[in-house]
Amino acid sequence: MSVSSELLVAGFNDAVHDGQQVFRALLTAMSEPGKLQQPNLIAEGPGALNANSWQVALALLDADTPVWLSERLAADAAISSNLRFHCQSPQVDSPQHAAFALCDASDVPDITLLNMGSAEQPDRSTTLIVQVPAISNEPHWTLTGPGIATERQLRIGGLSSTFVEQLIASRQRFPMGIDCIFCSADTLVAVPRSTQIDINMGGR
Amino acid sequence: MSAANQTTLTASQLARQHWLGVLAKVPAEQLQQQWAALDLTPDYQLIRPPEIGLTMVRARVGGSGQPFNMAEMTITRCAIRLTSGTLGVSYVAGRDKRKALTVALADALLQEDTDQQLQQQLVVPLEASLQAAADARAADASQTKVDFFTLVRGEDE
């Protein structure tokens, strides 16, 4: 597949420093699950991808990270062209072979199809980046686990119940599992595999 | 690039290949002078700010042998978009970010240059000076040219 030049959008203005700031925010998000981060370093994303997901992709993806796009995102030529141009990431057809999977909340993959790593090398797993409509600290999920002193509240909009069930069920396979990064228009939050999720029925 | 690949290019691609080649090869100082004289200040957005990197230069022995990795060279590349939407790209040898940006801008403007005006003002004179420099060098070298020949020694008779 080729790059369509008319669909290209801008990358980071300052690739090194902007990339570092987004990476720093992601590091904080991963080490303190449920803590909201807002590193807004970029104005617009390509096609259906919002600016926040785009900056995460710019910071994390490169020629050594095979990326899998969900069906809806893969159909958007702007997204695949820009990923090719700015990140040089190989795009794979099967999420099993991807280091990163990029999807929209309306279009999440079956988690069991993603690469969970192996018992010897759990770090080889796929990291899932999900673009969602809304993220807040309203009580809906109660998160506990490493990086959280007591507990933290998190509400992520737009996720299907099947996906959430699969995500919770995947905790049984620790240390194998999937680390998730959720990106709304301006906020990102991470839920790594070590975080336990309890759904508050009362909080709905 | 092999001859088979070139035949698939359209006329406009060949023209673009030509001016990008000229602009990349011309000395930076000369390019900036010529560019400044035109006094163009297009509005643009940086798609890929000028960045410096390495690329592997591959070569073939005698132009037809097996390709091998000859050396790495430093290049600077850049991509910009004019407000009209035209994308300009550049790949130039060396670490001159300003040259990369100028070439990218010139590339975008040359694509919009339907009346060949910019082509005449920028590419043609620069190409002429490149050619003049190449000719001067060739003339210089030809002064010390040695013709090798062998006298008939009569051994074959």
Q: Residue B37 is encoded by which pair of tokens?
A: 């004289």
Q: Using one digit for the tens of pLDDT, what is the confidence trace for A91-124? A: 999 999 999 999 999 999 999 999 999 999 999 9
CA dist., res. B100 & res. B94, Å (int): 9
Q: Which residues does residue A127 pair with via DSSP β-bridges, in sequence order?
A: A100, A179
Provide the number of CB pairs (under 8 Å) joining chain A to chain B. Answer: 25
Share of chain A above pLDDT 90, in %: 92
Are B51 and A9 within 8 A, CB to CB? no
Judged by average pLDDT, the poorest of A35-39, B11-15, B28-32, B69-73 is B11-15
| A111 contacts A166 by C-beta, under 8 angstroms | yes
The reply to whether B59 falls in a domain is yes
pLDDT, residue B148, reads 82
> How high does pLDDT run on average in chain A?
93
For position B61, what pLDDT does the model report? 87
pTM equals 0.84
Residue among B47, B85, B87 whose CB faces A11 most closely: B47
Domain-located, residue B120: yes
Can you tell me the mean pLDDT for A131-151? 95
Residues from chain B that touch A8, judged by Cβ atoms under 8 A, are: 47, 79, 81, 87
How many whole angstroms from its chain centre is CA B103? 10
Whole-number pLDDT of residue B157? 57
**Which uninterrupted H or E stretch holds A153?**
strand A152-156
Q: CB–CB of B49 and A9 under 8 A? A: no
How many angstroms separate the CA of residue B59 from the nearest CA in chain A? Answer: 24
What's residue A204's pLDDT? Answer: 44
In a domain, B153, yes or no: no
Per the domain annotation, does B155 fall within a domain? no
Query: Does residue A7 belong to the interface with chain B, where contact is any CB pair within 8 Å?
Result: no
- Chain A residues whose CB is inside 8 A of the B85 CB are 6
**So what's the pLDDT on residue B2?**
45
> Which residues lie closer than 8 Å to A77 by C-beta, 6 or more apart?
A4, A7, A47
Q: Quick one: angle between helices A51-60 and A15-31, nearest 10?
A: 100
Q: How far apart are the first and last CA of chain B?
A: 47
Q: Tell me: pLDDT of B1 over 60.
A: no
pLDDT band at B114 (very low <50, low <70, confident <90, very high): confident
Of B45, B51, B85, the CB nearest to A10: B45
Domains of chain A: 5-136+159-193 (3.40.50.11310)
Nearest to B51 among A8, A15, A85 (CB): A15
**Alpha-carbon distance A190 to A32, whole Å?**
8
Domain-embedded: residue B69: yes
Which residues lie across from B48 on neighbouring strands? B79
Nearest to A85 by CA among A61, A50, A52: A61
Instruction: Using a pLDDT cut of 90, give the percent of chain B over it.
Output: 74
Query: B57: buried, middle or exposed (CB in 10 Å: 19+, 13-18, 0-12)?
Result: exposed
- pLDDT for B156: 63
Residue B148 lies in a domain: no
Please answer whether residues A130 and A180 qualify as being in contact, where contact means their C-beta atoms are separated by less than 8 angstroms.
yes
Cβ atoms of residues A71 and A103 within 8 Å: no
At B25 the pLDDT is 94
Domain span holding position B123: 3-142
Whether A203 has a pLDDT exceeding 70, the answer reads no
Residue B46 has pLDDT above 90, yes or no: yes
Domain count of the fold of chain B: 1
**In 3D, which of B1, B11, B8, B20 has the Cα closest to residue B110?**
B20
B47 and A6 within 8 Å at the Cβ level: the answer is no
Q: Which is it for strands A152-156 and A179-183: parallel, antiparallel or unpaired?
A: unpaired
Chain A residues within an 8 Å CB radius of B87: 5-6, 8
Q: Do B48 and A14 touch (CB under 8 A)?
A: no
Question: How far B31 CA lies from chain A's nearest CA (Å)?
Answer: 25
pLDDT at A1: 54
CA–CA separation, A109 and A102 (whole Å): 9
| Cα separation, B126 vs B34, whole angstroms | 8
Q: What is the pLDDT of residue B134?
A: 94
* Amino acid symbol at B119: Q
- Shortest CA gap B107–chain A (Å): 13
Rounded mean pLDDT of A130-150? 95
Return the biggest CA–CA distance within chain A: 50
B113 found inside a domain: yes
- Is B149 inside a domain boundary? no
Contacts of B4 (CB under 8 A, 6+ apart): none
Over residues B128-141, the mean pLDDT reads: 94
Predicted confidence band of residue A36 (pLDDT cuts 50, 70, 90)? very high
